[in-house]
Every structure is written in C-alpha cells, then in structure tokens.
Amino acid sequence: MYPDLSYILHGLFGIEPDNWASVIKTFGLMLAFAFLASAWILSQEMKRLTAAGILKPVQVKVIEGEAATVQFLLVQAIIGFIIGFKGLYIFQNSEAFLADAASVLLSTEGSTIGGILGAIIFGGLQYYLKNKKALPKPRETMQTVQPYQMVGDITVMAAISGLIGAKVFAIFESAENISAFIKDPVGQLFSGTGLAIYGGLIVAFFVVLRFVRKQGFPGLNMMDAAAPAMITGYAVGRIGCQLSGDGDWGIASVAKPGWLQWVPDNLWAQTYPHNVLKEGVPMADCVWDYCTQLPVAVYPTPIYETLMGFIILGILWGLRKRVTAPGFIFFLYAFLAGIERFFVEKIRVNDTFPFLGMEVTQAELISVVFMLIGIAGMIWTKRR
C-alpha cells in the first residue's frame, strides 16, 4: 500500500519513503482527483445542456471600484488569522505535520501569536489592495455567466458540504463513534479520520441542488447532469481507499472456487501491507513508519467498488442522450449505486445495528433507500 506520496515515489523510483513527501497523504490526493474528475464530467454535461437550450446563461450583477468595507476587512482578517494560527504552529511542529497532516490541520491547536500576526498582515494587505482599485463612484455592471462557468463554484460547494456530511454520518455510523463524539465532540468533528461517503453524497446533493435552483436551472436536468459526476467521484475516491489501505476493506476471504481461478490473486484477497491505519501485525525487516499488514487476507472491496462505479458511469454516459425524461438518469444512478453498495456491504467490514429484527449496517440501510427512491423516481419521470 501507499499511505502517502513518499511511498508512491518509492514504488515508482525506489526513493526511500518517510521523507518530505509524507505530508501528502494518498487518500487526500485521490480525493482531490475525485473532485477534479467529477468537475470535468459535470462541465461536459452542462455544456451539452447549454447547447441544447435547456440551461440558460445567468446575468450577474458586479460592482466595480467599491472601496473596502469593515465587513470586508473583518473577513480578510479572519482568513489571515486562520492562516497564521495554523501556519506558525505547523512550522513549530513539522514532525507531527509530516506524520499526519490532516489531524494537525483539522485540529483546534495552533499559534495565537501567529494568528494575530496573520490577521494584521493579510487583512491589512487585502484592505490596501481593495482600496487601491476603488473608484470615486463605484459602478454596477451586468455580466453574462454561462452555466458551465459555475462548475468551479459548484465543486467547491460540493467539496465543503460533502466533507461535512461525510464526517457527521461517520459519527452516527456505530455506537462506538457516537460514544467517542459524546466524550470529545470537538476532537471528533475536527479529526483527520472517519468519513462516510454516503453522508457526503447526500449533503452535497441537497446543498448543490438548492444553489442551482436559485440560478434558475431546471432541477431534474441538473440532477441528470450530476449523476455521472457523482459516480465518477465515488469510483475515483475508492482508488484512494485501496491505495492507502484506509480500512474500507472486506472480511476475511475464502479460497477461490474453481470457476474463479482466472481472477488474479490480488483482486481476490490482500493483506494490505503498509496500510495507513497501521493495523495488523508487524512486517519482518521493515524499518519505515508504516510497517504492518493484516494477519489474514481480506477481500479488496474498494477495487470492486471502483470497477462497479466505472461500469455504472458507462451505463449512465451511454443513456444520457437517449433518455429524454428529465430526472430518469439520476434516479437510475440512485438505483444502480444502491445495488452496488448493498451487495458490497455483504463482504465488507462495518459496524451493524439492530433494525426490524435484523443486523444491518448504516450503508445497507441507505442503499435500500437509494434503490427504492431510484425505482419510484424512474417510474415517476417516465409517467411525466
């Protein structure tokens, strides 16, 4: 496995790991790629819908030459405080930052002196630059913005709301997580670990849907455009889970049956050596920071989810121009994504809880809801 960039460089070029590149964690790197890939897919679909006349350009009011206000200065000072608060602390605790950048960045620890200096310097600089461009009399102009030009805003909005949703859903994923949250709510919310991808998808979906509807875009058509992008992000993100070994693996694998002997061994079972969680038993003759592997081979479920994600993407991409009922593609996505996750959960390690006399996982329950919404939605859109 490749817990961070230094291990990837070691695998490619033989460079000794646990160096400066350790600050870039593999999961975070692939998460960034997931958002970029989703943004590209969404932009292609929004361009297609714009060319078809379904999405219309938006008129945006822009005020040129406006002087800096107290509110502007306050916002810039807060940004500067955060930069300085974390920046000086990271400089003073570089070893901890290299070991686990996410935990340091998302923690509440920092340098107050650095924060004050950052607020003064950054806030003052932005205040000066804003006033430098100020006009004696600010003027209002209207600018035409094409729908696909909003993809950047949508992506940032989806990233922030998605991470919040993933964190909140992860807290309620098991009794153990809830107990840990009750004992240390701030620490759990700002820890660098624990994300539930369904939570991210659900929260980001509603936040982005509200935004695009405010722009006057038809909701169902935008849902169709977002469906291929959402499954793309899911598939690429799972590559990060696999490469880093973040614990999203399956249960202990059994011997391959005769009719599946053609399946490569590493697609059937893995021990996740050098996994980022440092779970398992010590590896012999290993002197690096990540020197553990699972004692028993397990199913590499992130690989299955990535493969199924790209298959679903292929289906949606192939049907998006043929199906004319607005919303159908999105509800088909919900149905297929629900089926994929439901069956993966059968061989995946996850906490369960009692529900109607059964032991189920949070993801299984959400998968069933996805499937039911998908079926009902497809029937409804076709009847419309």
pLDDT in tens, 276-300: 999 999 999 999 999 999 999 999 9
What are the angstrom distances between the C-alpha of 271 and each of 12, 206, 208, 229, 248?
Answer: 21, 38, 39, 31, 13
* Under 8 Å between Cβ of 270 and 297: yes
Exposure of 132 in the CB half-sphere (CA atoms within 13 A)? 6
Q: What's the rounded mean pLDDT across residues 65-70?
A: 87
Is pTM beyond 0.75? Reply is yes
Q: How far apart are CA 197 and CA 230, in angstroms?
A: 11
What's the pLDDT at 274? 96
| Residue 345 token pair | 């959960």
Taking all residues of the chain, what is their mean pLDDT, rounded to a whole number?
A: 89
Q: What percent of the chain has pLDDT over 70?
A: 96
Give 292's contacts (C-beta < 8 A, 6+ positions apart): 273, 274, 275, 278, 279, 280, 281, 282, 283
What's the pLDDT at 300? 97
Q: What's the rounded mean pLDDT across residues 342-360?
A: 84
* Under 8 Å between Cβ of 325 and 272: no
What's the pLDDT at 76? 94
Q: What's the rounded mean pLDDT across residues 117-121?
A: 95
Looking at beta carbons, which pairs linking 290-296 to residues 24 or more positions away fall under 8 Å?
290/1, 290/3, 290/7, 294/249, 294/270, 295/271, 296/252, 296/271
pLDDT band at 167 (very low <50, low <70, confident <90, very high): confident
Q: What's the rounded mean pLDDT across residues 148-165?
A: 89
Beta bridge partners of 62: 141
